[in-house]
């Protein structure tokens, strides 16, 4: 019953948008801008599961241990306003830190790979 209501809501949205814009119905939405769209009984679930999985594979990080937060818990944050020039050693340290951060972020994404946004349908349709 809820799927039928959702379909009716979508048809109403398309009809309303069609009064203002030239539209072409391409059928059910599955992916949009690397976001997977999964219909649920209460609305839509938006996820980047496939995008994250592909990124982990491209960077050979699919076997890495996942982490619950993207930042390191052992390295304190420091203020750096970048006003002075940087020597080669400092530059290499920054690049190394960025590589570490990138890997840490990928490990965090691996841990949250099935997270997404749940968009619930409502009884009242308002554009």
In tens, the pLDDT along 40-63 reads: 888 888 898 888 889 888 888 889
The pLDDT value given to residue 71: 72
pTM, full prediction: 0.55
Q: Which of 45, 46, 35, 49 is nearest to 113 (CA)?
A: 49
Radius of gyration of the chain (CA): 22
What confidence category does residue 68 fall into, taking pLDDT thresholds of 50, 70 and 90?
confident
Q: Are 12 and 122 in contact (CB under 8 A)?
A: no
Q: Are 14 and 25 in contact, with CB atoms under 8 Å apart?
A: yes
Domain coordinates in residue numbering, the chain: 2-120
């Amino acid at each position: 019953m809820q799927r039928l209501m959702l379909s009716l809501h979508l048809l109403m949205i398309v009809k309303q948008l069609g009064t203002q814009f030239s539209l072409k119905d391409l059928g059910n939405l599955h992916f949009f801008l690397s976001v997977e769209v999964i219909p649920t009984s209460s609305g839509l679930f938006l996820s980047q599961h496939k995008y994250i999985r592909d990124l982990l594979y491209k960077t050979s990080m699919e076997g890495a241990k996942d982490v619950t937060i993207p930042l390191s818990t052992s390295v304190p944050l420091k203020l750096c306003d970048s006003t002075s020039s940087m020597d080669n050693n400092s530059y290499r340290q920054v690049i190394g830190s960025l590589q570490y951060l990138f890997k840490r972020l990928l490990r965090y994404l691996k841990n949250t790979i099935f997270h997404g946004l749940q968009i619930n349908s409502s009884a009242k349709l308002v554009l």
